[in-house]
Structure 1
Amino acid sequence: MNQKNLHKIIQLKPNEEIVAVVHQALAPHFHKFVLAFLLVLLPFFFLFPLFKAGALGILGFLILLASTLYIFGRVFVKWANTVLVITDRRIIDVDQKALFDRLVSEAPFGQIDDVSHRIKGVAPTIFRYGQIKVQMSGNAADIIFSRIKQPARVHDLIQDLRKVIKDEDRDYKEQKLHELAERSSLEEVEAIEQTFRKREMDEGLQELYDEDE
């Protein structure tokens, strides 16, 4: 999927940048492409007999060719448009289920509890593709992207971006606290600090509670 089509599917937020666009590995879909290509060649084996049959034969050839091209196009579009988009703020899972059926899910880094990857089986081990699982906080559904190329690298990239976001949030809180301190009394500053500490403690307890579940 090129950048132009990608921007039609997802709406980037102000100052948001795309870090990576990851496709599914081609290896697990190879047999589908081979079969679809053979189907496209099939009408040409009947080219001369159909053309000898006259107008109906030519019409039959064109219908058969259009049908096989549709099958090939469907296989290609599903593979090409199923991508995992990683920006500097979130993960966007674009699942092209059919030519006219697309499911888009997103996971902001701040709502991600854990990220894991898995490679299982002989073919995935040889061709280095596997699964990425993004566990969401609360009741949000997890995001699972299967047959992804080099899942370990994608996993590390997501974890690095999550760490950057956490550091930026911490710096932002400290900056706001400093700005408030310049125009607030000592008692007000202490109250603000206690509020931040309580919020961080609640978030930590919530993470422990989620892990126990």
Structure 2
Amino acid sequence: MEAALTFPNFRMPAPRPIPASQSADGDDIDVALMYRIAEGDEQAFRQLVERHQNAVVGTVARMLGDPTEAEDIAQLAFLRVWKHAKRWRPDAKFTTYLFTITRNLVFNESRRRTRRKEVSTDEREEESGFQMAAEARQGPEEEAMKLEMHQQIDRAIATLPEAQRTAVILYSYESLPYEEIAVVLKTSVSSVKSLLFRARTTLRERLATYLAD
């Protein structure tokens, strides 16, 4: 848990319907807000949280397969942003910095669960390419089939190694380019492409029965 924060009684604000990734010159806005936050501007911090909370909460929920804990971990991520704002430098996009923090917190939580032997079989929700395949199957009777497909996707993604799962989620859901994902995972662009390729190959193999139709 975070300690000795000067920002009082922080709570995640109500979610906004439009993700921050859709806003124009988003990184310029984030940089300006971060400079204000470094000076202790609480209103700027709230604006930053409102801009990115949907993306962070959604990413954590998919990575852990546990929506009930997603908001708590997202709150920790934003509190770390607040705590370390004075040391932050715009060397990369702010979202890269934010998702790096998020990934580290999720990784720590996953290790804690593993040590407690509480590894879940539904660690992930949806992956874009296969989500699209599920949506495409809609027809007269397809609600039940669609639900079953999503459940199979969840189980398949749960079997992916942590780095592959993270790469899939950041690429498919948050639309991060290879270069930013490489920073988050502390690896190379070629490694990110390899992770995504292996993940998709594995998922296609495990979902072959459903994709065949």
Bin of the TM-score, shorter chain as denominator length: under 0.3
Q: TM-score, normalised by structure 1?
A: 0.25
The structure with more radius of gyration: 1
**Greater helix content:** 2
Q: TM-score, normalised by structure 2?
A: 0.25
**Greater strand content:** 1
Which structure ranks higher in relative contact order (CA pairs < 8 Å, sequence separation ≥ 6)? 2
